[in-house]
A and B are shown apart, each in its own frame.
Chain A
Amino acid sequence: AQSVTQLGSHVSVSEGALVLLRCNYSSSVPPYLFWYVQYPNQGLQLLLKYTTGATLVKGINGFEAEFKKSETSFHLTKPSAHMSDAAEYFCAVRPYNQGGKLIFGQGTELSVKP
C-alpha cells in the first residue's frame, strides 16, 4: 500500500528564516504529488503539485518543492518565512490509476516566530 510520511509534526522557524518541510512517499510507480495548506478552521488549499516534467515545481506564496525519485522525496521549501505562513501543511500522493483519490501524510504544523 502506498503511504506518505511527513517528518516532524511541528516545525518552528523565525520570520525570514528558511522553511523546510519534509515528505517521503512509498510507491512502486511515480505518483502525482501534492502539497496542501490548511489555515485554522479552513479547508485545504493547493500549494503546488508535481505530475510530470520538471522536478522543481513552484507554487503559491513563494513555496516550491523538488521531486527526487531516487530519494522518494518531495520536500517543501520557502526561502524566507512570513508570519502569514503559519498553518498546517499536508503532503499527499495520488496513486496511479486510482481515480484521483489522495493519500495524505499526517501533516506538519508550521509556526513562525517574530
Chain B
Amino acid sequence: DAGVIQSPRHEVTEMGQEVTLRCKPISGHDYLFWYRQTMMRGLELLIYFNNNVPIDDSGMPEDRFSAKMPNASFSTLKIQPSEPRDSAVYFCASKGQANTEAFFGQGTRLTVV
C-alpha cells in the first residue's frame, strides 16, 4: 500500500485566497483525521470522519475552515479566505476499524503571505 497520500506537499498562497488540501487515505480505512502542526500549538486535531461522516469538528478554528469526505478514498480541507496565521503543516491520517493506531501522510506545508 502506498500509505496516506497528501497533496500538494507545499503550498504558498496570498492572503485572501482559497486553499484546498487533499488527502487519500489507506484503502479500507474507515477513519480519517486532519491535524495541524504549528510551533505555538503543536499537533492539534481539526476534524475526523468515520465512514465519510464528520464525527468531531470541534477543533476547526473558525468558519473559514471546512472539510469534506465525498467518498471513502478522498477528503479535502479548504480554507477560504486564507490568512497568514493559517501557515502550518497540515497532516492527514487514517485508521482502520481493526487498527489501534493511525497512519499519517507526509503533510502539506502551507505558507500564507
Pairing of A with B: yes
Contacts between the two chains (Cβ within 8 Å), count? 50
If A43-B91, A43-B106, A99-B50 touch, whether A104 touches B43 (CB-CB below 8 Å) is yes
B15, CB-defined interface residue at 8 Å? no
Interface pair A99/B100, CB less than 8 Å apart: no
Q: Which residue of the partner chain, among A41, A90, A99, contacts B43 with CB atoms under 8 Å?
A: A90
Report the minimal beta-carbon distance from B30 to chain A, rounded to whole angstroms.
10
Query: Chain B residues with Cβ under 8 A from A104's Cβ?
Result: 42-44
Give how many A residues have a beta carbon under 8 Å from the other chain's beta carbons.
23
Cα–Cα, bound, A46→B95 (Å) = 13
Query: Chain B residues with Cβ under 8 A from A103's Cβ?
Result: 45
Closest chain B residue to A106 by CB distance?
B42
Cα–Cα, bound, A104→B59 (Å) = 13
Cα–Cα, bound, A106→B105 (Å) = 19
Q: Mark A36-79, 1 if CB is under 8 A from B, else 0.
A: 10000111111001010000000000000000000000000000
Q: Mark A87-114, 1 if CB is under 8 A from B, else 0.
A: 0001000100011111111110000000
B1, CB-defined interface residue at 8 Å? no
Interface pair A100/B102, CB less than 8 Å apart: yes
Report the minimal beta-carbon distance from B8 to chain A, rounded to whole angstroms.
14
Within 8 A of A (CB), among B85-105: 91, 93, 95, 99-105
Within 8 A of A (CB), among B56-109: 56, 91, 93, 95, 99-107, 109
Interface residues of A (CB under 8 A from B): 32, 34, 36, 41-46, 49, 51, 90, 94, 98-107
Pull 22 A–B residue pairs with CB atoms less than 8 Å apart, ordered by A: A34-B101, A41-B109, A43-B91, A44-B91, A46-B101, A49-B100, A49-B101, A90-B43, A94-B100, A99-B48, A99-B50, A100-B95, A101-B45, A101-B48, A101-B56, A102-B102, A103-B45, A104-B43, A104-B44, A106-B42, A107-B42, A107-B43
